[in-house]
Amino acid sequence: MTEQGDEAPLVELRDFRYTYLEGTPRAVEAARGVSFEIRRGERVGIVGPTQSGKSTVVYALAHLLRLKEGQVFHEGEDVTAPGYDRAALRREVGVVFQRPDFQILEDVVGKDVAFGPTAAGIPAKETRERVEESLEAVGLSYPEFRLRYVYALSGGQKRRVALAGVLAMRAPLLVLDEPMAGLDPRGRREMFDLFDRLGEQRELTMVMCSSSLADASLLCERLIVLQEGRVAMDGSVREVLAEADRLETLGIALPDPVALARELRKVFPDLPADTLTEEELEKALLARLGGSRA
């Protein structure tokens, strides 16, 4: 079993279909046959416009929907199989919801971060250690924030508390639903650095859902593009970004450096097509200009 488990992807969706309020006049078809695998240690960005089914996929990964048989697999096991330990699955999959208010369940910071471990029956001493560790990991000082009221926190701080609550469960798979939405550029940068650091330190597998291709391409190495509940593209960040025209027809805005490079190629057709960051673009441009001068 362990041998098989090592081979099996961490999570897999096989022709995953989901309709909210199925069989009622208010039914909404959110996923229409989504298939992909995520292997341990991968960082995958799920990108798509609104209503493309991103959040539904997030909920499916943690079994937060009425799933049908044979569509969602965790370590090779069908999560809907009779006797499957859903509680264990949810301890393995840490979901950070779109809005922190959606998942902060207690009124005091320390109590909220301790919520998960307490519900899982972890002894008080260890819970306390986890709370301290998780708060410090997200950049909130434990002595300072432990007894703070959640209502008095800023948006960015709430987001960190929500993340700390998930980290306290020590889940190997971190699922982030629009983690940068509503943050200013500096807040985005800080959050991005935080996720990057956490991913490396804790060897996390990360899935990040975002409507912003720029955000997802910064943090992830692989991108899955969803369109109307189907997978439109799936590949490495460079592979996906290379198909700028297709992304545009899907209604997804290109990251600034990529869009700029695309415009610049009209003037310098030999400029490389896969520059992801401003630095890369600058380097390529200097090389090109330097080359022409020489």
Partner 1 sequence: MLELQRSVIFGQFVDTGSPVHRLDVRVKLVATALLIVASFLVDGFLGFALLLPLLVVLQIVSRIPFGYVVRGSGIFLFFLAVILVFQVFFYPGEADNVLWRWGFLSVSVEGLRFAAILGLRVLLLYHATTMLMLTTSLVDLTNGLEILFGPLQRLRIPVNELVLVGVISVKFVPIFISEVERLSRAYTARGVPFDEGGPLTRARRLGRLLVPVFVGGFRRADLLTTAMDVRCYRGGRGRTKLRRPQATRTDWLVLLLVAAWVLAAWQLPALLGT
Q: How far is the CB of 248 from partner 1 (least distance, A)?
A: 33
Binding flag, residue 134, partner 1 (CB under 8 A): no
Integer Cα distance of 291 and 286 in angstroms: 8
Q: Which stretch binds partner 1 (CB under 8 A): 2-10, 19-27, 241-249, 263-271?
A: 19-27
Binding flag, residue 115, partner 1 (CB under 8 A): yes
Token digits of residue 75: 């370590």
The 77-96 site mask, x for binding partner 1 (CB under 8 A), equals ---------xx--xx---x-
Binding residue for partner 1, selected from 16, 36, 59, 195, defined by CB under 8 A? 59
Token digits of residue 180: 């940068």
Of 91 and 128, the one with the shorter C-beta distance to partner 1 is 91
Binding residue for partner 1, selected from 39, 77, 120, 265, defined by CB under 8 A? 120
Binding residue for partner 1, selected from 1, 2, 3, 24, defined by CB under 8 A? 24
Binding flag, residue 119, partner 1 (CB under 8 A): yes
Binding flag, residue 206, partner 1 (CB under 8 A): no
CA distances from 4 to 89, 109, 260 (A): 18, 41, 46
Strand partners, 12: 37, 73
Binding flag, residue 169, partner 1 (CB under 8 A): yes
Q: How far is the CB of 66 from partner 1 (least distance, A)?
A: 5
Token digits of residue 152: 């008095």
Q: Could you tell me if 202 and 213 are in contact, meaning their C-beta atoms sit under 8 angstroms apart?
A: no
HSE of 8 in the Cβ direction (CA atoms, 13 Å)? 16
274-281: which pairs have CB atoms within 8 A and are 24 or more residues apart? 274/238, 274/241, 274/242, 276/217, 276/237, 276/238, 276/241, 281/257
Residues in touch with partner 1 (CB under 8 A): 20-21, 23-26, 59, 62, 64-66, 86-87, 90-91, 95, 97, 102-103, 105, 115-116, 119-120, 165, 169
